[in-house]
Amino acid sequence: MLNLSVFHTFFDHCVGRWSTERTYHYLAQQEVERSHTDFEITPLTVDLKQKVLSDNQYEAVPNLDLLPGFGMAFDTVSEKGEKVSQTLNLLFVPKQEDGPLLAGDYLRDRAYEEARPIVSSFKFDSRTHELLMTTNYTRVVSVDSITLINPETRIRKILNYLRPPADQPLEKLGLVGFGVEQKVA
């Protein structure tokens, strides 16, 4: 049986309303863009967790009520005035534990880069409180990190690599993003 107590505490602290300032570096275009995002994270009911599994055609999971699952809604405004809003549901399915590291699948009913259900992978380090999520999209591989500094502050790092040919390492970055997220309620 996996020890999920620190993992659950991490997500308990993530529930609420957050405000973030981010900087994105588009490497191919040599552009830097800043944005502001307000978002809200709410726990998912067991029925919505089951829907996320079904949307992804994922196998049945025992004790679904014990797994972290969340609804997320956000509104982003870039410094150029461009606006993006999205809502999605997500679920974390831990599969293995190796000391302080927990790994498994991260499922969404709608992906960020592509509007479709998607199964990604995650790793969580209980020592550093860092959640690392890796998603293989059609054109990019997104490596997204959330580090919980304290219950009111998170640091976000986003690396989007141009997707390499099969069995080749991630090498060419297309986008690098950084953000400071602060809980507002």
pLDDT in tens, 19-39: 999 999 999 999 999 999 999
pLDDT, mean over the chain = 95
Lookup: tokens for 14: 């993530």
Residue 1 has pLDDT above 60, yes or no: no
Percent of the chain predicted with pLDDT > 70:
99
- Cβ-in-10-Å burial (0-12, 13-18, 19+) of 33 comes to middle
CATH of residue 14's domain is 2.40.128.20
In this prediction the pTM is: 0.93
pLDDT of residue 61: 94
pLDDT in tens, 109-149: 998 788 899 999 999 999 999 999 999 999 999 999 999 99
Q: How far is CA 2 from the centre of its chain?
A: 21
Question: 22: closest CA among 79, 86, 62?
Answer: 79
Per the structure, the count of domains in the chain is 1
pLDDT of residue 87: 94
Residue 18 has pLDDT above 80, yes or no: yes
Q: Are 18 and 39 in contact (CB under 8 A)?
A: yes
pLDDT in tens, 67-92: 999 999 999 999 999 999 999 999 99
| Residue 139, phi then psi, degrees to nearest 5 | -110, -20
pLDDT of residue 111: 86
Q: Are 140 and 161 in contact (CB under 8 A)?
A: yes
The domain of 9 spans 5-183
